[in-house]
């Protein structure tokens, strides 16, 4: 693939800083990659030269373990991941397994499509893991790039959305995107939640999200790394409330979400950086200077 754009993810930062242990070193980061197929190997039929495609977190699976055989390839014991096991998109060129790429609809420009390939896809999976139904009441804890796409899917489904996040600017953005209510992490939404998704990489948001749930609700943790999960009393978990982690994505997640994103259509907000400024983009993610998607352009 000749890389056209690669969005920056907090997971890239966590890998670079060692919060997520490396699978191999050195490795080129980047798992939200839009590019054009320039060459294919023998027997490849899933893509053709000239196709515009996206590479995302899942790079390959074994296809043979019990998880792959039961439609849960995101849990594959031999899975490989773009930018963790295989070189990713902080580059001008990269290789990928053809059957793990997703076609990019013509309605999306390269720079708009790139942020959808992790934050969007994993946000979509988090919605599924949370069990939220169309028309339900959903809480989002944290409002970065992934939540910006997730709220658009939720409101498209007719959900009533409450957002808890740090700053008044983020709260205003949430309301502009259709949130019924927005407040701080220390505030409880004015209605009981059927489900909640946490995006912030801090475990401290989990207890308030749990306390805001209605009976039988689920908190889905959308993070590969948390600082810790604090102790909390049993009562908020009573009445069959649950906590679930969101681990990776499947090819089906990517295909369904990209099609849905084109149907809605989902709007993305971004800031652009030349590839040479990748460290600057990562630093801006680290210090919270960027609350939209940072995108690298070779």
The stretches of 131-277 forming alpha helices (DSSP H) are 145-156, 168-176, 206-211, 251-263
Q: Which domains are present in the chain?
A: 2-117+268-297 (3.90.180.10), 121-245 (3.40.50.720)
Q: Name which of 145, 168, 158, 175 is nearest 268 in CA terms.
A: 145
Low-confidence ranges of the chain (pLDDT < 70): none
Residue 44, token pair as written in the block? 């490849």
Report yes or no: 267 and 152 within 8 Å, Cβ to Cβ.
yes
For residue 190, the tally of other CB atoms under 10 A from its CB is: 10
For residue 215, the tally of other CB atoms under 10 A from its CB is: 10
Report yes or no: 262 and 108 within 8 Å, Cβ to Cβ.
yes
pLDDT at site 288: 83
User: What's the number of CA atoms in the CB half-sphere (13 Å) around residue 27?
Assistant: 21
Q: Which residue has the tokens 């074994």?
A: 62
**C-alpha torsion angle, residues 203, 73, 80, 92 (rounded to 10):** -90
C-alpha 216, offset from chain centre: 25
Report yes or no: 205 and 185 within 8 Å, Cβ to Cβ.
yes
Q: How far apart are CA 203 and CA 262, in angstroms?
A: 33
Task: List Cβ<8 Å contacts ≥24 apart for 175-180.
Answer: 177/148, 177/151, 177/152, 178/151, 178/152, 179/140, 179/151
Q: Name which of 114, 168, 31 is nearest 293 in CA terms.
A: 114
pLDDT at site 205: 96
pLDDT at site 290: 82
């Amino acid at each position: 693939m000749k890389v056209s754009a690669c969005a920056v993810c907090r997971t890239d930062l966590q890998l670079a800083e060692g919060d997520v242990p490396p699978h191999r070193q050195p490795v080129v980061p980047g798992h939200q990659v839009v590019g054009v197929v320039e060459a294919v190997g023998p027997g490849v039929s899933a893509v053709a030269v000239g196709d515009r495609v996206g590479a995302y977190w899942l790079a390959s699976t074994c296809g043979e373990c019990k998880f792959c055989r039961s439609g849960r390839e995101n849990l594959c014991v031999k899975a490989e991941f773009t930018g963790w096991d295989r070189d990713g998109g902080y580059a001008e060129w990269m290789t990928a397994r053809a059957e793990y790429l997703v076609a990019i609809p013509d309605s999306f420009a390269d720079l708009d499509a790139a942020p959808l390939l992790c934050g969007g896809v994993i946000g979509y999976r988090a919605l599924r893991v949370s069990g939220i139904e169309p028309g339900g009441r959903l809480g989002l804890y944290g409002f970065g790039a992934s939540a910006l796409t997730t709220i658009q899917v939720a409101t498209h489904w007719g959900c009533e959305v409450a957002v808890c996040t740090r700053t008044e600017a983020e709260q205003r953005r949430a309301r502009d995107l259709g949130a019924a209510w927005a407040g701080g992490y220390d505030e409880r939404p004015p209605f009981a939640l059927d489900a909640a998704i946490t995006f912030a990489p801090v475990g401290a948001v989990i207890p308030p999200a749990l306390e805001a749930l209605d009976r039988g609700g689920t908190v889905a943790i959308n993070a590969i790394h948390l600082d810790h999960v604090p102790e909390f009393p049993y009562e908020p978990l009573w009445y069959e409330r649950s906590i679930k982690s969101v681990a990776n994505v499947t090819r089906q997640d990517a295909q369904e979400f990209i099609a849905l994103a084109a149907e809605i259509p989902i709007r993305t907000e971004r800031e652009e950086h030349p590839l040479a400024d990748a460290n600057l983009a990562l630093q801006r993610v680290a210090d919270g200077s960027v609350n939209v998607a940072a995108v690298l352009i070779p």
